[in-house]
Structure 1
Amino acid sequence: MRDQEPAPMDAERRLSTKEAAELLGVKPETVYAYVSRGQLSSRRVSGGRGSTFDAGEVEALARRNRRDSSGGSGSGSSGGGNPGGELSVRTRLTLIESDRYFFRGVDAVELATRHTYEEVAEWLWTGRMLPGSTFTAPAAFVSVARRAVEALPEHAAPADLLRVATVAAATADPLRFDLSEDAVLGTARTLIPTLVAALPPAGHHRRDEGPMAHRLWTRLSVRKDPDEASLRALDVALALLVDHDLAASTLAVRVAASARAHPYAAVSAGLGVIEGPLHGAASGLAHRLLQDVLEQGDAAPVIADELRAGRRVPGLGHRLYPGEDPRARALFSLLERIPRAEPALLAARDIVETTARHAPLHANVDLALAVLTVSSGMAPTAGETIFAVARTAGWIAHALEEYGERPLRMRPSGLYAGPKPPQPLPE
């Protein structure tokens, strides 16, 4: 017999920082750390200096923490359901533990720093290392994808461009409904270069051959002749971001694949999710924050403005890494070898040190991506593009894994909380 959980608190009731801390069983500083990580939202007290928190949101976090501490949200069966807890899905792809993450059991940072993005993608898809792997886009696919992208408004976001290019490429592939492993792998190896080829060039040059990082650079930076260190940093960033377990976009992809949507449709589902500021678009917020710090020459007033507006500081903390984000650490290490990245690196360090007075949070990969994009002369949206292109490989790996499972298994049951039936017909 399961213990009964307490009834949800009144959603309109607000809690003080002290009350929230007591309910969660943590120190007040940790409450603000939850806000910085996006796990809680806060509202400034009118005319005061404190913050208040939604009681229902705090109670939900407290329940999650109790389940986590009791092991209630561990791996479920291959069917994926976890009644009364969070959804869990058995996967052989990515493991995250102890501030490290692994692709098929191999340290992901070591893979990313020793192999190209394409080679890491192949490893995730097949479990085999294929040195010198390259991806080729069929001319017919590129042509239809480019035409579709060129028809979009100039202000279209990166996810819009990539989603439209994905749908267009699907229409050019009569074999898209073949879900056999070889067919899906073939789709993966052609879709990623098609997406990059469909993006408009950042300057007057466009490269459609060579490593994927080199091709993507010409879509993101106006600098025509990048140095090798910058290209390597971009390639490693792509490899680091290939997969990250069951992130929100990846879950959407697996749901689509569970319904036997073809790989293009599954990838499109993932692209629809990453536009949220808490996922793929988070690097753009960190990019703008970094630019503001560089312009003002000091992180303190910029951080103060963020907190005064009730916003969490982007680029800091990660719910899966109590310590340092290993992806950020690896990328910062490479960026330190690029002389022109030094001002952005110093600004990022200033952000971390300034915020540490409020909440001890480490830089995450979004801040590292921001340093790369700011120092490389890229637009604020470049990080989102890098994330989406990189993660497409992981999405297809998850779709391929899901195709081997029972169809439509990703169907959780709703916990109805509406009026008790039967109710009279509305007038």
Structure 2
Amino acid sequence: MIISINQFSTGMPDFLSARDTCHLLGISRATLYAYVSRGLLESRPGPDHRSRLYLRQDVERLAQRKQAGRGEARGAAQSLDRGLPVLETRISLIRPDGPYYRGRSAIEEVRAGASLEDIARLLWDCGEDDPFTMPLSAWPDPVAAIAGNADLPPLERTMAAIPLLALQERHSFNSAPQVRHRVAGTLLRQNAALLVAQPPSPWPVHRLLAHTWRPGDEAFEDLVRAALVLCADHELNVSAFAARVVASTGAHLHATVCSGLAALSGPRHGGATARAYALIAETLQAASPRDSIAARWQRGDDLPGFRHALYPHGDPRAAELLERLRTHAPDAATLRALDAIVETTEEISGQRPNIDFMLAAICHAHRLPATPALVMFAAGRLAGWLAHALEQQAQGGLIRPRARYAGAPPATQE
């Protein structure tokens, strides 16, 4: 039997013991440990270093899910937070060994040397059509001043310019697949150029980004290529869902790109790379990195860049990038420090790095600021947003879920 949350709310500390957690959720100790192993709950060391404590907000969230009842309403509510599938897609599949793009392993595609453009053709189901053969024009006058302004943050610069580019696109609403692929291909490269305040370039996206940050470094260029491919899509994540909702209205591809960028701008999505970068910087500067991580964990602070709800045993994308970074890191001392952070964090918390940590780690290893981590994420993920937009508009139908009202009832008429 699940206990009402209100019975525990008054004076409840930030952490719960295993006994109170089991009582609140109405489960056994064995089930509690299973929840932890599946990534549904996190445990932290108790005051005696033998017991375990559980974050109150996580326990309450799980209890609310269990109390929501069964049936359609419960399923719909749970679907909004990594719950039940709500849409059919042929684009990507998430498995324990990483994402698959139309049935092909993203990690194997990286190892085979695929570029972001190769993956875009796959995700967009282009077949023999190559949407990247069209020449790129210079920025139109209304866009040029914004596009070249490196003082603007990358997402804001890009979101300001793309609606103006849409005004120059004569085929925005053309439904022919080859035309839409061409528009998407142009957008992919324009987006990358805007993110780094460069002119439109026929170069592959990974080369443009790497040349902007570390010109002439071929090993770094290949690392950027791998990161872009691994970031290209991740099923129905927040930004992909936002793009898909906008696409369902019949809006053009430029509008769907802006919706994805807007969703990415939040600290709980794209901003996670900056938080991971800050965690690495703080830990590297600490007198004792181990003590710094342990103190965060004991305080109940989160560890940005670690743990992924869909990969409870570790994010395979991060593992692939870490191995590549170990092979080509320019600074052995920094790499040893990054390895120590990964090993210490797993030892203390049981958490392994995710893709956000690795994008930030790549920047630290190459003496770059935090911004390129976000840019790699945004440049790569655009391929997925466009894939979802193309698929949604081909399927037709408006995405319009219903809300379950939980507010005050209407006033009774006397």
Aligned runs of 1:6-405 on 2, under 5 Å? 9=6, 13=10, 14=12, 16-18=15-17, 19-24=20-25, 25=27, 26-27=32-33, 30=36, 53-54=56-57, 56-62=60-66, 86=84, 88-114=86-112, 115-126=114-125, 128=127, 134=132, 138-141=136-139, 144-150=142-148, 154=151, 156-200=152-196, 208-219=201-212, 221=213, 223-226=214-217, 228-296=218-286, 298-304=288-294, 306-307=296-297, 310-405=300-395
- Counterparts of 2:162 and 2:42 in 1: how far apart (Å)? 34
Deviation, 1:310, is 4.3
Q: Which amino acid aligns with 1:145?
A: V
Deviation, 1:389, is 0.8
Task: Identify if the C-alpha distance between structure 1 residues 183 and 32 changes in structure 2 by more than 3 Å, giving closer, same or farther.
Answer: closer
- Counterparts of 2:108 and 2:139 in 1: how far apart (Å)? 34
Q: Which amino acid aligns with 1:170?
A: A
SS for the counterpart of 1:17 is: strand
Task: Identify if the C-alpha distance between structure 1 residues 422 and 231 changes in structure 2 by more than 3 Å, giving closer, same or farther.
Answer: same
Contact 1:207 1:214 in 2 (8 A): no
Deviations 1:200-258 (A, max 9, x none): 56xxx989342211111244x2x3322x2111010111011100000011111111111
Task: Identify if the C-alpha distance between structure 1 residues 420 and 305 changes in structure 2 by more than 3 Å, giving closer, same or farther.
Answer: same
SS for the counterpart of 2:356 is: helix
Task: Identify if the C-alpha distance between structure 1 residues 349 and 106 changes in structure 2 by more than 3 Å, giving closer, same or farther.
Answer: same
Contact 1:32 1:359 in 2 (8 A): no
TM-score normalized with structure 2 length: 0.81
Deviation, 1:286, is 1.3
Deviation, 1:159, is 1.9
Deviation, 1:136, is 5.7
Task: Identify if the C-alpha distance between structure 1 residues 258 and 225 changes in structure 2 by more than 3 Å, giving closer, same or farther.
Answer: same
- Higher mean displacement: 104-113 or 172-181: 172-181
Deviations 1:266-315 (A, max 9, x none): 11111111122222221221122222233336422332453466431011
Alignment partner of 2:405 out of 406, 409, 416: 416
Q: Which amino acid aligns with 2:88?
A: R
Deviation, 1:261, is 1.3
Deviations 1:132-165 (A, max 9, x none): x85666324465434224569x3x4332122123
Q: Which runs of 5+ in 2 are unaligned?
A: 44-51
Deviation, 1:105, is 0.7
Which one has a larger percent helix, Structure 1 or Structure 2? 2
SS for the counterpart of 1:279 is: coil
Task: Identify if the C-alpha distance between structure 1 residues 29 and 319 changes in structure 2 by more than 3 Å, giving closer, same or farther.
Answer: closer
Task: Identify if the C-alpha distance between structure 1 residues 339 and 248 changes in structure 2 by more than 3 Å, giving closer, same or farther.
Answer: closer
Q: Which amino acid aligns with 1:225?
A: G
Deviations 1:338-364 (A, max 9, x none): 142533432333223322344211111
- Counterparts of 2:37 and 2:21 in 1: how far apart (Å)? 7
Identity of aligned residues (%): 27
Q: Number of paired residues?
A: 391
Contact 1:17 1:28 in 2 (8 A): no
